Amino acid sequence: MSFGWNFSPESASTNLWTATRYLLFVILLFLIPAAAETDEAMDMPIFSGGVATFAPEFPCENGTYRWEASDGFPRTSDSMTFNWTAPQVRSPTEVVISLTMVCDYGCLGSEESSILVHPRPEPALEVYMTASPSRGKPFDYVTFTIVIENTGEVPLALELNDTLPAGIGYVLADPVPDRVIENADGTTTIFWDGLGTLDPGNETAIVIIGEIGEDIPKSASTTDTLTVLGSPDLGNEDNSVGEEVLWVQQVGGGGLADTIEGLIWLRVRLEVELAKMIELSRRLDTRSPGVIVEEKEGELPGDVVRNYTRPATDEQLVLFIDAGGNITRSEYYNFEMGSVLTSEYGPDGALIAESLLSVSMLERLRIDYDDPSLGYRTRTVTDYKTGDTLIETVDPTGKIIRRDYRRIPGIPKEKEFLLRNSATATGRSEWGDVSASDDADVIVTYRSELKLAKGASPIPATVGDVIVYNFSVENVGDVTIANITLSDDRLGRGAGLNRTTLKPGEIAVGKANYTVISSDLPGPIVNTATATGTDPQGDEIEDEDTVTVPLYLLVPEISLIKTPDKNVVAVGEVVTYSFVVENVGTTTVTDLSLFDDLLNETVDLDRTVLDPGDVAVGTADYTVRPEDLPGPVVNNATATGIAIVRIARPEDVSQSPGAGVDGEPVSAEDSAVVNVTAPPPKINVNKTALQKSVRPGDEITYIIEINYTKQGEPINSTSVTVNDTFSRPVEFVSADPWPVKWGDRWQRWVEETDENGRINITLVVRTKKQDFTFDMEQGISGEGFVNVASDYDTAPPSYILTNVVTVRDANSSDVMNKTSETVFVGEVGTELSTREHGSGSYDSEEVLRMRTENKSISMEKDVSATYAPTTLGLYNGRVVEYSSRWSQEARAKNRITGASMTEAYRYATSIDRESKFFLDRNESVMEIDSEFDGMAEIGFFKMPSNTSGPRSTPTFELREDYAGSFRVSERVDEYGRGVSYEKSAAGSGLVAGDRRIGSSQRSYESGAGFYESEEIIETATNYIAKEINLTHAPAYQKISDATLIDASGKWKEGMRSKTPGTSLIAEEYTSITELDKDSIFRGLNDLSTEADFSGRARYRTIAKSGSRSGGGSIYIRDINLVDEWVEIANRGDDVVNMTGWNLSDDDGHGWPFPYSERSQLQPGHVRHHRHQRRECSSGERIHRGHLPEGDRLPQLVSQAGENRRKGDLERREPGGGGSSEDRPHPRRHRVWRLPRQRRQGDRRSRGRLCRQGDQLHRPGGAVAFLLPRRDLCEQDRRG
């Protein structure tokens, strides 16, 4: 006797191996030694869990079998074959298998064999990755080395994939990969599908070389742009002006003093807002019915955080209470004001600090009481937009005794990014697959910097010289800088550069000229140039340089100021005049003298030689005489002298002393007016802003008109002081004439009236502008109650800029007047508002980006919520129960492009949605992928422009409402004047949808039951493609546990397109129980549709066009496929007999004009050919035979019946009788067409009038309507 066996491992997917062994069995006279067979069997490998099958070599037909095994499973078996599983062992173990067999003829035999069971080999591997270098900058190469080690016990077939992060591009790899895929998110995935077999204990290396790029995602940044930099205190003895010890951005053009003054005004404003927030917090009644109370444990044992929320007013109060029941801190949120009030209390309940954070304005005020000592206060005000911080210490009397200035930097010039490369290796074997991963980080130093160098020639210069300014802008950073512009505060943007984009190390150059004029004297000419560019991440980079050019021409000039000691006198009074002569030039004046025409004498001065800046004074008296009445007394004084003028250059004079020295007469005049017992003079002032409404950063031009009169007569040559003050800081741009002084809120002039008593001043200022960015990423998951409200707006708060001008007589403070002018400062932007509330499970991830510079807001939100009642435990065993179905909404407005978008869900038991919103100054995009059970509203509204009024027709209008269970995928994108719309929706419930393209096209549907629709709309081309499937069924929707919506209306669906005054194509299905339709509008005048429906349908086509003939007197003037008539006119001068004429269509079917009295068509007359219409009911059919003489054209029945099939249409050929094969069949159909707009050069005839072979072509100004339909009238009738 002998038996054999075969072995198979656990998995059928591995390589099977088999072996057969024969053991000894005693039968008749044959005997085979068992020892040899046993040794051979033990040499064969079998592993833990392996399966072997044993069977006798010569089995008995009716024998009995008994198998036994010393280990494994099973231990025994009475079957002819023995299926045995090897036991789990940790070391090689011997197992004995035996067989006892009794044949039916009484023969008995037995045999056994030993099997050596080995432990199962385990696969394993490790992956190690390194990056060299681990730090770099853009355009550097990085070598990644990936080492894969087989740490298992079996050979492995290797596969590898590596993902390079966004910001590192693939260059090459060794070995060469099988695939390299550049992903949409900027990453690159590299695949090695077969790296060969790696034996246990061995390792292999893969090398990847990548290049660091410039387009690194901002999300990889490790730089904190709000790190506080330390600065010495202002006013210290060692540093009286303040000095920052680390690099920060420039504070602004006004200098440190103006910055501190702005912070003081900010503190005053925030103190007012702080007082208002304190009053509002006190008005919040935490015991009122509308307040929701929540309580949770604090950070320390026994602490409690109690939250009071009033949804009606969007207010929230949070109290932090310690274990002793004392309030340690309170936070009051008022979302309408966009501010947070925080109050801190000491152990005795005393208030120790209050702070106000304006979230919308990014400003903060904090007041610490009894700091640094009892009765003192420390006020800290911070403007986070600029990083400026002012710390004031106030004594008990309210006096500020100390002021410290700090600074927070803005966007750093150098940033760091962390880029992570990840690799995953997979090893495959007959014993299973294993994988391992590792990654390597690369720190990228990202430096964006420009260096501007400015030079001038010649230096020094004189009047009339042309100064040539040379500019050099070098990219000294590590990345490409684009959009480089150069501006100069004196030259404007006249200095153009030869290139606007610079790679690292590249240089752009430019040149500009300036001619020195006399008003530049005495010099020097100082001007500053600024180079500005944008790095690949969109951050603005700038640098500036200043050049000073001294002037050497000496200017001879003196001034005279004459002042009376009285402005109003009586006859006999003495007026004392004071005279001040000043050398306001740059050269010495000699032989100075002064003559007054009223005194008719020379006035003695205290000196006759004046160096530059010196002053000579004198006085003279005048007694008012009767002949001076009625006044005023006006006198003029003239000062004269000789100025020493050096015309030559200084170097010429030094080489030849006395060269170029000459004398030039100089003079100055002034007058004085004294009223003689007359009414005081009057100053009329008027200020007008040429721009009544501007945006932040725009210029405003003001015209100031001053009229100085007395008794209606102008007062000329009189000095007045003009003070101009603004309610907010502005940037001074220019003025004519130039003011004597100015600041960021005021200007001052001292001018003389002209001969008409007038002074005109033109002032140009620029409003302040501040841009900011906001990035947010958040993820929330949990169960309970959710109430979230977020609002984002890229438009800065608007305000009224008030400007007050005050004019005074320089000689009399009693004569003054003032007026004011207001300008609205504001701009439109983009807005996004989100709201969520409900109870149950909630899982949300959101990424939001906002940039005020380009008015962009982008939001990507992935949220899943399921409704369930929720109970929240409170302090002292109290509970709060919430049972609120989910409501979620996102509403966006683009006030720049005139678009608005809405995505809203109400009374939902489940919501699973992915939403994307994007808005900027050019476009608006809404993308939705949502699955919900509840009510939903999706809307999009696009006006022609942001200035369109309420009577303007929207460019595109979308409103879709769902109630039930639906899956909706939708995308709407507006750019310029065009809107693209794509939708795919399916579900059951109540649906009402309406989409309109201006006043020309519309697509709509409404009803209850099953709904499936796909639709595309392109407003630019008037393209609409719609595929819809509807089945009516009653719909019910719960909006609360006690409220149910019952909607059982049948479906209504339709589309239309019209060209005003030219054409109309429309189809509408009503009372629909089933509808399966596919329609396409290819422009305004082309509709193709196929429909299978049960219900009623109406099709309308109206085409109004000109002649449809080739130039003869008879032509087709109009066609109406709804009422089915053709209008034929005679435009000639003679009567035309229409007998013998034939009307035909594109398919060659004709209708002859029979002989009758009506065949005579008079000039100018119109003949309508049509068939009698009637409606038919469901299941009824109309048949038509010959067209009787004088009758109209055959009718095509348009009234729809029940149980339609898609594509069914019947048409009877003209002719009588016919066999049963000639009768209409419900499954046969024909498409009737009117032609599309004929292309240029298309000479094909769509419809024609023929006579004796002459063809009259119909023009192409018609519309096209493709309509498969079916005539359901069953009974034979005659038309």
For 378, the 3-state DSSP assignment is: strand
Condensed to tens digits (0 to 9), the pLDDT of residues 53-107 reads 888 877 777 778 889 998 888 988 888 888 999 898 888 888 898 888 887 766 7
Average pLDDT score over residue span 434-449: 90
Q: Could you give phi then psi for residue 434, rounded to 5 degrees? A: -130, 155
Check pLDDT > 90 for residue 839. yes
The pairing of strands 615-623 and 51-56 is unpaired
Integer-rounded Cα Rg, in Å, for the chain is 48
Q: In sequence order, what are the residues at sequence separation of 6 or more whose Cβ sits closer than 8 angstroms to the Cβ of residue 175? A: 192, 195, 206
Condensed to tens digits (0 to 9), the pLDDT of residues 1258-1275 reads 333 333 333 333 333 333
Q: Could you give phi then psi for residue 392, rounded to 5 degrees? A: -115, 135
Predicted pLDDT at 1086: 84
CATH fold label, 448-549: Immunoglobulin-like (2.60.40)
Could you tell me the pLDDT band of residue 1167, with boundaries at 50, 70 and 90?
low
Q: CA 143, CA 977: separation in Å to the nearest integer? A: 49
Predicted pLDDT at 122: 85
Contact in structure between 1082 and 1042 (CB atoms under 8 Å): no
Check pLDDT > 90 for residue 1032. yes
Tell me the longest C-alpha to C-alpha distance in the chain: 176
Condensed to tens digits (0 to 9), the pLDDT of residues 844-860 reads 999 999 999 999 999 99
How distant, in Å, are the alpha carbons of 1152, 1169, 1174, 1192, 1276 from that of 1189?
A: 10, 12, 20, 9, 20
Could you tell me the pLDDT band of residue 31, with boundaries at 50, 70 and 90?
very low
Check pLDDT > 50 for residue 1202. no
Check pLDDT > 80 for residue 395. yes
Contact in structure between 544 and 452 (CB atoms under 8 Å): yes
Check pLDDT > 60 for residue 991. yes
Cis peptide before 372 (omega within 30 of 0): yes
Predicted pLDDT at 767: 92
Average pLDDT score over residue span 224-249: 32
- Residue 399: HSE in the Cβ half-sphere, 13 Å Cα cutoff: 2
Residues in the chain: 1279
Of 147, 150, 118, residue with least CA distance to 47: 118
Tell which CATH classification among 2.60.40.1120, 2.60.40.3010, 3.40.50.300, 3.10.350.10 matches the domain 3-118: 2.60.40.3010
Predicted pLDDT at 1104: 55
Q: CA 866, CA 784: separation in Å to the nearest integer? A: 11
DSSP per position, 563-598: EES-SEE-TT-EEEEEEEEEE-SSS-EEEEEEEETT
Dihedral angle of Cα 1110, 1116, 1120, 1121, to the nearest 10 degrees: -60
The dihedral built from the CA positions of residue 1083, 1084, 1086 and 1092, taken in this order, carries a sign that is: positive
Condensed to tens digits (0 to 9), the pLDDT of residues 630-682 reads 778 888 999 999 987 644 444 443 444 444 456 789 999 998 888 887 556 77
Of 85, 23, 27, residue with least CA distance to 55: 23
Could you tell me the pLDDT band of residue 1085, with boundaries at 50, 70 and 90?
confident
Poorest-confidence range of 457-471, 599-613, 921-935? 457-471
Supply 1221's token pair: 């094969």
For 39, the 3-state DSSP assignment is: helix
% of the chain beyond a pLDDT of 70 = 78
Poorest-confidence range of 6-15, 376-385, 971-980, 1246-1255? 1246-1255
In this chain, the answer to whether the domains covering 3-118 and 255-309+317-407 adopt an identical fold is no
Of 853, 825, 852, 805, residue with least CA distance to 700: 825
How distant, in Å, are the alpha carbons of 1, 190, 786 from that of 181?
A: 64, 6, 41
Average pLDDT score over residue span 1120-1142: 71
Query: Is residue 959 packed enough to be buried (19+ CB in 10 Å), middle (13-18) or exposed (0-12)?
Result: middle
The residue among 1038 and 436 whose pLDDT is bigger is 436
Measure CA 623 to chain center: 78
Predicted pLDDT at 1109: 44
Query: Is residue 970 packed enough to be buried (19+ CB in 10 Å), middle (13-18) or exposed (0-12)?
Result: buried
Of 818, 886, 827, 830, residue with least CA distance to 855: 830
For the ranges 292-306, 407-421, 892-906, 1220-1234, the maximum mean pLDDT occurs at 892-906
Poorest-confidence range of 21-35, 597-611, 919-933, 944-958? 21-35
**Domain segments of the chain: what residues?**
3-118, 125-221+417-445, 255-309+317-407, 448-549, 558-676, 682-770+798-825, 830-1003, 1061-1067+1099-1279
- Residue 547: HSE in the Cβ half-sphere, 13 Å Cα cutoff: 23
Of 1005, 1004, 903, 898, residue with least CA distance to 954: 898
Domain 682-770+798-825 has CATH 2.60.40.740: yes
Check pLDDT > 80 for residue 1088. yes
CATH of domain 255-309+317-407: 3.90.930
Of 1270, 967, 1249, 1233, residue with least CA distance to 1130: 1249
Amino acid identity, position 1122: V
Condensed to tens digits (0 to 9), the pLDDT of residues 862-883 reads 999 999 999 888 877 788 888 8
Predicted pLDDT at 645: 66
Q: CA 1035, CA 1044: separation in Å to the nearest integer? A: 10
For 292, the 3-state DSSP assignment is: strand
Could you tell me the pLDDT band of residue 1207, with boundaries at 50, 70 and 90?
very low
Check pLDDT > 60 for residue 155. yes
The pairing of strands 432-447 and 135-136 is parallel
Check pLDDT > 80 for residue 1126. no
- Residue ranges of the alpha helices (H) in 316-457? none
Predicted pLDDT at 290: 84
Predicted pLDDT at 712: 59
Q: CA 99, CA 437: separation in Å to the nearest integer? A: 51
Q: CA 1237, CA 1110: separation in Å to the nearest integer? A: 17
Query: Is residue 116 packed enough to be buried (19+ CB in 10 Å), middle (13-18) or exposed (0-12)?
Result: middle
CA angle 19, 20, 23 (to 5 degrees): 140
Average pLDDT score over residue span 108-115: 83
DSSP per position, 1131-1167: -SSS-EE-TT-EEE-TTS-EEE---SGGGEE-TT-EE
Average pLDDT value over all residues in the chain: 78
Predicted pLDDT at 755: 84
Of 37, 31, 28, 26, residue with least CA distance to 4: 37
Cis peptide before 1268 (omega within 30 of 0): no
Q: CA 419, CA 417: separation in Å to the nearest integer? A: 6
Supply 637's token pair: 């004084």
Amino acid identity, position 1077: K
Q: CA 192, CA 213: separation in Å to the nearest integer? A: 24
Q: In sequence order, what are the residues at sequence separation of 6 or more whose Cβ sits closer than 8 angstroms to the Cβ of residue 340? A: 331, 332, 333, 334, 356, 357, 359
Condensed to tens digits (0 to 9), the pLDDT of residues 324-342 reads 889 999 999 988 888 999 9
Average pLDDT score over residue span 987-1006: 94
Of 112, 122, 113, 132, residue with least CA distance to 90: 122
Condensed to tens digits (0 to 9), the pLDDT of residues 720-740 reads 899 999 999 999 999 999 999
The residue among 545 and 911 whose pLDDT is bigger is 911
Average pLDDT score over residue span 1028-1040: 85
Check pLDDT > 50 for residue 944. yes
Predicted pLDDT at 961: 94
Check pLDDT > 50 for residue 1206. no
Predicted pLDDT at 225: 35
CATH fold label, 558-676: Immunoglobulin-like (2.60.40)
**Both ends of the chain: CA-CA distance in Å?**
101
Q: Could you give phi then psi for residue 520, rounded to 5 degrees? A: -75, -15
Q: Could you give phi then psi for residue 518, rounded to 5 degrees? A: -65, -30
CATH of domain 125-221+417-445: 2.60.40.1530
How distant, in Å, are the alpha carbons of 236, 617, 753, 917, 1018 from that of 563?
A: 45, 11, 16, 70, 78
Could you tell me the pLDDT band of residue 1166, with boundaries at 50, 70 and 90?
low
Of 939, 881, 942, 888, residue with least CA distance to 911: 888
- Residue ranges of the alpha helices (H) in 286-331? none
For 1190, the 3-state DSSP assignment is: coil
Predicted pLDDT at 32: 29
Predicted pLDDT at 254: 44
Predicted pLDDT at 891: 96
Average pLDDT score over residue span 776-800: 92
Residue 661, Cβ neighbours under 10 Å: how many? 12
Q: CA 243, CA 410: separation in Å to the nearest integer? A: 17
